[in-house]
Structure 1
Amino acid sequence: MFNFNTPRAKDDALRSRITQIRECSSAEALNHLLAELAADAAFDHYQLNLFLPSGLLQSNLSIFSHEPSDWLDYYWSNQLVVDDPLVKLSFRLSQPILWDEIGEYEKNLSANASAVMALRSEYGMAEGMTLPIHSGQGHHGMMHLSRREANGELLTTLELISPLLPYLFNKACDLLTPPHPRLSDRERECLFWVSEGKTSWEAARILGITERTVNFHLNSAIRKTGCKNRYQAIARNVAAGQLRPDMQRLNITRIVKA
């Protein structure tokens, strides 16, 4: 149970939980630990959605859940995810989303979005919050925590769960992300310059190699990632975090000092 009498006790308890998360060897073990954490924080239900990119705009979804089974069946069979404001806000925000304050985050909530939230309450999720989290590899996650009865103590329980969320998210990603082919430095360089709108000939001039060599590396990257052309390879590798901003070509636009 979360019971912190002293700062040291709080630190020790968090360290113990972090160790438990790191030692989870399967998705099932992690789901069991999620159930313990939710119960300790006095939540009846939880759901951790993990969006793993398969392209720039396509993702595979994995779900860890202890929510009413009939709710999950109804939610997915009716594609409520399309209108779910919690999902849309989680992709846009990084801050916790308290369900009773959803109007503060989304000023013009559609009728369909309001209906999804009303249905949650009808299915036994009267009070809750959603914690978004994102990674540099294009992974997106959101953890829904809810109760059958509201008690107004969301911020207190937020303090208990928030420090553990990055560890839960990273472990879920480690367990469920399929291995991505590793590109060579030269393959990444060629893809980078093509992503900047350069032709193979222009990239060759920049890199000091032949156009034929550039095309060789581009074709290798396309083949490794199972893509059809260089543009799909760029999209897929950006989504997977293989292509990142060049630290030597940053434009510092503003520095705010105290």
Structure 2
Amino acid sequence: MKTEPENLARIIETVADAPTVYDALIALQEIYNVSFITYHLTATIISELDAPFVQTTYGPEWIARYLLKRYVHIDPVVQQGFLRQLPFDWREFDITPETAEFFDDARQYGVEGYGYSIPITDKAGRRAIFSINAARPTTSWDKFVADNRAEWIEVAYRVHLKAIHEIHGGKDPVPGLSTRERECLSWVARGKDHKDIALILGISEHTARSYLKSGRTKLGCATISSAAVQAVKFRLINV
């Protein structure tokens, strides 16, 4: 019998070897014996591709219905999921008449009420949600989630990395900046120099310059000001 780490390694390899994110989701759906799996990236951060990226194993009839009814504005997984930091069970939602009607409609297309979602925030600040939907399992749903939750979190992030590479042709265009690098560049974007930043953050001028230089280098920019502009473009900082 395989040990849990070996099993997780096999699943991660399956995700990596799948031709596309969609193929990875299909494989995961079979591995975990669930009804549907969805991956939803809120934005890609790169100009013309800066739009939501969604891959799902839901049937085409439900996808068409979802789009036609504009359910994205009602769906609590989307509406609340991108605001949350921790994984959540769909049973946590406060059911309003509107969401009750949404879930009733979804059931007509095979979408059951048991679901678990994992919010993802990567080093570039991108937000995504990985969701699993299942009919009532043969064993307890709570036990099913407890047995697989830690594994799903790791798998969700691997799917996210695969999506970023798929969208951008195999290379992530957004560098990972440290918290301090982001802070320093955000103050540059507000018109502050390294002396001001050192005073604001309570660090030495030398340290402030070092963070600005490393952030500029990671962003591939010739000047600090252009690095700040690039960081804003990539949504690494807010101004």
Please confirm whether the aligned pair reaches a TM-score higher than 0.5, indicating the same fold: yes
Consecutive unaligned residues of structure 1, counting only runs of 5 or more, are 210-215, 223-229, 245-258
Change (3 A) 1:113 1:194: farther
Give 1:38 deviation, angstroms. Answer: 1.2
SS of 1:63's partner is: strand
Provide the residue aligned with 1:235 in structure 2. 232
> 1:217 pairs with 213, 220, 223, which one?
223
Quick check: 1:102 aligned with 2:92? yes
Give 1:62 deviation, angstroms. Answer: 1.4
Q: Distance in 2 between matches of 1:145 and 1:173?
A: 20
Provide the residue aligned with 1:138 in structure 2. 125
Q: Distance in 2 between matches of 1:139 and 1:31?
A: 20
Contact 2:37 2:133 in 1 (8 A): yes
| RMSD value, Cα | 3.8
Normalising by structure 2, we get a TM-score of 0.67
Provide the residue aligned with 1:14 in structure 2. 8
After the TM superposition, which of the residue ranges 120-129 and 158-167 deviates more from structure 2?
158-167
Contact 2:44 2:53 in 1 (8 A): no
SS of 2:51's partner is: strand
Query: Amino acid of the residue matched to residue 172 of structure 1?
Result: A
Normalising by structure 1, we get a TM-score of 0.63
SS of 2:80's partner is: helix
Q: Distance in 2 between matches of 1:67 and 1:116?
A: 15
Change (3 A) 1:170 1:180: closer
Give 1:121 deviation, angstroms. Answer: 1.9
Change (3 A) 1:153 1:42: farther
Contact 2:120 2:128 in 1 (8 A): yes
Superposed, which structure 2 residues align to 1:117-132 within 5 Å? Answer: 117-129=103-115, 130-132=117-119
SS of 1:92's partner is: coil
Task: Choose between structure 1 and 2 for higher RCO, CA contacts under 8 A separated by at least 6 residues.
Answer: 1
Change (3 A) 1:12 1:43: same
% identity of equivalent residues: 15
Contact 1:52 1:138 in 2 (8 A): no
Give 1:33 deviation, angstroms. Answer: 2.8
Contact 2:15 2:158 in 1 (8 A): yes
Greater C-alpha Rg:
1
Change (3 A) 1:51 1:204: closer
Query: How many residue pairs align between the two structures?
Result: 206
Contact 1:21 1:168 in 2 (8 A): yes
> 1:115 pairs with 101, 115, 120, which one?
101
Query: Amino acid of the residue matched to residue 75 of structure 1?
Result: Y
Give 1:65 deviation, angstroms. Answer: 1.5
Q: Distance in 1 between matches of 2:155 and 2:12?
A: 7
Provide the residue aligned with 1:155 in structure 2. 142
Superposed, which structure 2 residues align to 1:1-258 within 5 Å? Answer: 5=1, 8-24=2-18, 26-27=19-20, 30-54=21-45, 60-99=51-90, 101-103=91-93, 106=94, 109-129=95-115, 130-147=117-134, 149-151=135-137, 153-158=140-145, 159-160=147-148, 161-162=151-152, 163-177=154-168, 180=173, 191-195=185-189, 197-199=190-192, 217=223, 220-221=226-227, 235-237=232-234, 239=235, 241=236, 243=237
